[in-house]
Amino acid sequence: MRSPTLKDLTSNGLVYAPGVWDGLTARLAEQAGFSALCASGFAVSAALGLPDAELYTQTENLQAVRTIRESSKLPLVADIDTGYGNAVNAARTAAKFADAGVGGMFMEDQVSPKSCPICVGDPVDLITIGEATGKIRAVRDSIPDDVLLIARTDARGDDAIRRAQAYVEAGADMIMPVTKTFETVEQWQRCHEEAGVPLMATLTASTWTERDFTPEILAQIGVRLALLPTQVLMAVAGAAQATLRRLAAGEAPAQVSADTLQHHEFVELIGFPEVEAKQNKYLPAKQDR
């Protein structure tokens, strides 16, 4: 019996997907009980010590996705940014991510290099609707039908509605407004109704969508995939920052360690017992080596 795809899961109701960026965070999210994951571009970039401004390459993003897939078989939605070029480039990018095993991908309509809209003050620059729909068609033609194609728009208001409708006509399975696209729940609901397909929402930490989009509201406005793209990243960064500051200030390492995950707990969660079981099964006994 095959495992459910991301398309299967979202067709049956609302799915939450936390933002992960490597094998460890993927493993932790699966152990926590999530049914899907998001390879967060914001987090992948941060893991390289970079802001989310499309400074990393397609290859670096793809490698992060492959690492996540090696650590967890949960359905994965990937951030392919702008597709890293024109329609032909985007099609090649999408095919590579599909080959890596993603269950869905989202691509935005910003000019390249993109900018994270919640990190910059002014509206971001967008490509034309004609160029954006061409990229969506090219991507749709390059990936299997069971891989969700999610079209992100960084437009606002009525322009976002027009783009959403055009993107659906071009082959998008879902529309992804960003946190600045609309200002009210009613505008999100209008987008869903006029686009005629489910929406994907980003419940980014410290944004109004994180605060206001309860499960009931998400159902009301037609969201089937809700990303939690930065919550894990902020928690990990905050904990690491606090620990490093304590150590740098001269606090005893044993005292700092007492407040963190214990070694035996980490050994278990990272999978040492499973590896040891395989060693006992497949490797010769020590006296035979």
Q: pLDDT tens-digit profile of 192-239?
A: 999 999 999 999 999 999 999 999 999 999 999 999 999 999 999 999
Which two tokens mark 185? 């729940």
How many Å apart are CA 169 and CA 161, to the nearest integer? 13
Residue 286 pLDDT class (50, 70, 90 cuts): confident
Q: Which residues pair with 53 in a beta bridge?
A: none
- Does 163 score more than 90 pLDDT? yes
What topology is assigned to 6-231 in CATH?
A: TIM Barrel (3.20.20)
Whether residue 117 has pLDDT greater than 70: no
Measure the CA–CA gap between 16 and 255, rounded to whole angstroms: 36
Supply the pTM of this predicted model. 0.93
Phi-psi region of 83 (alpha: psi -120 to 50; beta: other; left: phi over 0): left
Structure tokens at 44: 């992948």
Confidence of residue 271 (pLDDT cuts 50, 70, 90): very high
> Which whole number is the average pLDDT over 162-189?
97
* Cα-Cα-Cα-Cα dihedral sign, residues 73, 75, 81, 82: positive
Instruction: Determine the pLDDT at residue 84.
Output: 96
Residue 118 has pLDDT above 90, yes or no: no
Give which of 167, 168, 171 is closest to 145, Cα–Cα. 171
Q: How do residues 3-12 score in pLDDT, each as one tens digit? A: 899 999 999 9
Q: Residue 269 CB: number of other CB atoms within 10 A?
A: 14
Give the integer Cα–Cα distance in Å for 153 and 39: 18
Predicted confidence (pLDDT) per residue in 38-59, tens digit: 999 999 999 999 998 889 999 9
At residue 81, the pLDDT reads: 95
**% the chain with pLDDT above 70:** 97
The pLDDT score that the predictor gives to residue 3 is 84
Over residues 163-175, mean pLDDT:
98
Can you tell me which residue has the tokens 């040891």? 276
Domain locations in the chain as residue ranges: 6-231, 237-288
Burial 44-57 (b: 16+ CB within 10 A, else e): bbbbeeeebebebe
Count of C-beta atoms within a 10 Å radius of residue 6: 26
d(Cα 171, Cα 225) in Å, to the nearest integer?
A: 18
